[in-house]
Structure 1
Amino acid sequence: MKRWTLYTAASILVGLFGTGSYLYYKYEPNHYFKRLEVPVLSTPSVAIQPSPLPMSPGTQDTNIQVTPDATPKETSTQDKDIKAFNVLILGLDARKEESSRSDVIMVMHVIPSAHKVNLISIPRDTRVNIEGVGYTKINHAHILGELKGGNEEGTKEAIQAVSNFLQVPMNYYVKTNFAGFENIIDAVGGVDVELEHNITLPDIDTTLSQGKQHINGKIALSLARERYSMPNGDFDRQAEQSQILKNVALKLLQPEHIGEIAALLPKVKKDIQDTNFQDNDLISLAWLFKGMTEDDFTYRQIPGASGYELDPLMQMRLYYWLPDMTAVKELRENFLEEKSS
């Protein structure tokens, strides 16, 4: 009996070890994304970028064209030894029977080998060149595509606009609307945020106090949309959006058990309007995020200045965020491109 018990226990341990080794080999991020044929959804196709300097009020829009000094390397995204990839995150402001502008635009540069993530927030009013249109706001790209060919074309236009602007390829995308954003946060039991000052949210008649707060989806959505009660307006709002996204990721993608994440995926995915991530990709990302801390995330905003320019769509002068393309180039090299080893 003792011998039988010993053999049984040994068999169970071997089985558990084999299963664990299989899951590790299959989903461990550095192994998984090296084996995966990471998609390349877009590569920069426009060698024209906005003027890096704002114009004085009253001057004519000269649409200065700047040619990049080098074409970005694409081979790294198609290399079997890939170390990093880019994810475009789009939050749409669509309501029923309305076309959709992208109100939240972020690029997540994921480095599986280092367990690091760089988050780059692009102001929705950033002035970029869109093929066939000219210089307009980057959040117009989605609606322009949607008007031409529906949701899928809207996604393609937004991805290409961001790729052209940052001069990097895009590998994945996640797109959700405001309702989905709220539901995802509720699905994970809310999210923690830390506020540097009191923030009034007039649309839900609530004031959040300075310090750490645990908030539900409704409050998180209102916080992500609020800018008027923040000292730096849209830039504080971008920072809050980044904080919410990062903290949701840390909570959602820290599985103690793979089965729990697998069970949660359908709840989260039903509120994601569109994505090219597969379930296995998300499970591997969950493994990547397990154990990550605040220090493993780096957040940056697009540098530039405020200004007013003639918009070709509205045929009037509109407010723009005019990017400093020299600084954007440095940001790309430091946070969006693979470093040579």
Structure 2
Amino acid sequence: MTGASILLVFVSLCAVVGYFALTQPRAIVHLALRPDTLLLLAIVLPLIGLAWAATVVATYLVLRPSAMSVMHRIAAVAVVTVLVAVIAVPFAVGGRYAWVQKDLVEHVFAGSTSKSATRPTTAPRAVGNPWKDQGRVNVLLLGSDAGPDRSGVRPDTIILASIDTRTGATVMFSVPRNLQKIPFPAGSAPARVYPNGTYAGPGNELEWLINSVYRNVPAQHPDLLDSDNPGADATKLAVSGALGVPVDYYAMVNLEGFKELIDALGGITVNVNHRVAMGGEADAGLVPGGWIEQGPNQHLDGFDALWFARGRYGADDYQRMGRQRCVIKAIIDQADPLRVLTRYEALAASSRDLFSTDIPHDLLPAFADLAWKVKGADVTSIAFTNEVIRPSNPDYQQIHELVQNAIKESTTKKSKSSITDSLDNACAYHPDKSGPSTPRPRPGYSSAPEDGS
């Protein structure tokens, strides 16, 4: 009777969970992003599994016949062991996943005591419409080359994703890492300490590119920004000044750990429109160690995907920026739920050391809702190439106008301008018949990664 009662309760719980999973999937996702709920699940699920397993064993001990042959006894014990395993393992795995998820959320995402000099002071909280009073949210995506052989961090990838909170329509702005003479927003702390509020100065011009802001601003003015990550806050302000829009949050990916994430996902499939070098340094006369060959639907593991995103030899920064946007798109499109579930611990382990962000973990449910919209909406992009701006002497008024026009086009779904492009189109297979270009050293700007870049 006890066993039947427990089975009835379990089946009822499964039915309730299944109903909510089918009818309220976002509510399930919200629960999976709350540390307090995850802690409760990490404790309760193993206890339920243990209690049910104990009930199975107790039922067998009470009901087993007194006279059994050795073979029957062995068979009965084997059946009970299998039943216990079938019952206990899913609950144990569920509890472990809940604990791993709790650790991931608390480790990666900002807590209530975290400090940021640029994060919005008012955050959406409404359950029904979490972004009710905020038309857009702008998230800065940074790719970091930090590692044991680097003396500092210089973001190798700088992309601002501007998301319409009503529709999910997104515009991605790729900022050249060699952008110069960046105007910090008026009234910001960096604008007060740099002459004319502009990030520029004497000496090596490589020390005044936008990708050096992360390292140099905190080094030059250690107490300027009261933040857990002053480099990220300084970069947010630099990108805000360059593009003319506020930057709400940042998310930084350590590219050295990026390949672990791709491998945990089982690789990604991309279109390779021109051969991509793996290594090589034009200025030193070093040839690549290999190539990712041109072709449609190329499946890349983590190692190759990292080179696809970073390869410079025979390509300019703008081609590389385009490939990076396509990698982001591939991850979004190809993150299969079943694959994510079966490789969850590997994904969580890589993500724990892969990401840093100032997005508070209590905002994760709101961002999860937004992600549902983004996945089904149009994503367009702008790369500020040499044909659009001059990175060494940019017209920031022109850049601000281009950004505002792209946002307006995305919101109103008007015909796209000549510099905006759908990522579906940009990442489609359009083979480059000219082949890879011959790299030429550029005065004052190396094609090889500079220190910390």
Q: TM-score range by the shorter chain?
A: 0.5 to 0.7
- Do the aligned partners of 1:107 and 1:119 also contact (CA within 8 Å) in 2? yes
In structure 2, do the counterparts of structure 1 residues 335 and 14 end up closer, same or farther at CA, with 3 Å as the change threshold?
same
Aligned counterpart in structure 2 of residue 85 of structure 1, from 120, 127, 137:
137
In the alignment, is residue 143 of structure 1 matched against residue 231 of structure 2?
A: no
Aligned 1:284-295 pairs, distance under 5 A: 285=367, 289=371
Three-state SS of the structure 2 residue aligned to 1:219 is helix
Distance 1:280 1:76 in 2: 10
What code does the residue aligned with 1:226 have?
G
Runs of 4+ in 1 over 4 A off after TM superposition: 4-15, 18-23, 25-28, 74-79, 148-151, 256-265, 278-295, 303-308, 336-340
What code does the residue aligned with 1:129 have?
P
Aligned 1:135-214 pairs, distance under 5 A: 135=200, 136-147=208-219, 148-149=221-222, 152-203=229-280, 205-211=289-295, 212-214=297-299
Residue 42 (structure 1) aligns with: 118
- Do the aligned partners of 2:249 and 2:359 also contact (CA within 8 Å) in 1? yes
Residue 276 (structure 1) aligns with: 358
Per the normalisation by structure 1, the TM-score is 0.66
Distance 1:283 1:20 in 2: 18
What code does the residue aligned with 1:94 have?
A
Aligned 1:1-341 pairs, distance under 5 A: 13=15, 16-18=18-20, 23-25=25-27, 27=29, 42=118, 80-96=132-148, 98-127=151-180, 128-130=182-184, 131=191, 132-133=193-194, 134=198, 135=200, 136-147=208-219, 148-149=221-222, 152-203=229-280, 205-211=289-295, 212-230=297-315, 233-252=316-335, 255=337, 266-278=348-360, 285=367, 289=371, 296-302=378-384, 320=392, 322-323=394-395, 325-335=397-407, 339=411
Shift of 1:331: 2.1
1:183-230 Cα offsets, whole Å, 9 max, x none, are 222222222211112223234622122222111222222222222323
What code does the residue aligned with 2:332 have?
A
Distance 1:103 1:199 in 2: 17
- Do the aligned partners of 1:125 and 1:137 also contact (CA within 8 Å) in 2? yes
Distance 1:263 1:195 in 2: 30
Distance 2:262 2:217 in 1: 28
Distance 1:98 1:305 in 2: 33
Shift of 1:82: 2.8
- Do the aligned partners of 1:88 and 1:170 also contact (CA within 8 Å) in 2? yes
Distance 1:260 1:284 in 2: 25
Shift of 1:124: 0.4
Distance 1:16 1:245 in 2: 31
What code does the residue aligned with 1:84 have?
R
Distance 2:359 2:346 in 1: 15
In structure 2, do the counterparts of structure 1 residues 327 and 170 end up closer, same or farther at CA, with 3 Å as the change threshold?
closer
Three-state SS of the structure 1 residue aligned to 2:337 is coil
Distance 2:119 2:405 in 1: 16
Q: How many residues align?
A: 287
Which structure's CA Rg is the greater one? 2
Shift of 1:80: 3.6
- Do the aligned partners of 1:86 and 1:110 also contact (CA within 8 Å) in 2? yes
In structure 2, do the counterparts of structure 1 residues 10 and 99 end up closer, same or farther at CA, with 3 Å as the change threshold?
closer
Distance 1:236 1:174 in 2: 22
- Do the aligned partners of 1:302 and 1:328 also contact (CA within 8 Å) in 2? no
Shift of 1:241: 0.9
What code does the residue aligned with 2:354 have?
I
In structure 2, do the counterparts of structure 1 residues 269 and 224 end up closer, same or farther at CA, with 3 Å as the change threshold?
same
In structure 2, do the counterparts of structure 1 residues 209 and 169 end up closer, same or farther at CA, with 3 Å as the change threshold?
same
* More helix as a share of residues: 2
1:65-103 Cα offsets, whole Å, 9 max, x none, are xxxxxxxxx999896443431110111233325111121
Three-state SS of the structure 2 residue aligned to 1:102 is coil
Three-state SS of the structure 1 residue aligned to 2:176 is coil
Per the normalisation by structure 2, the TM-score is 0.52
Shift of 1:112: 4.3
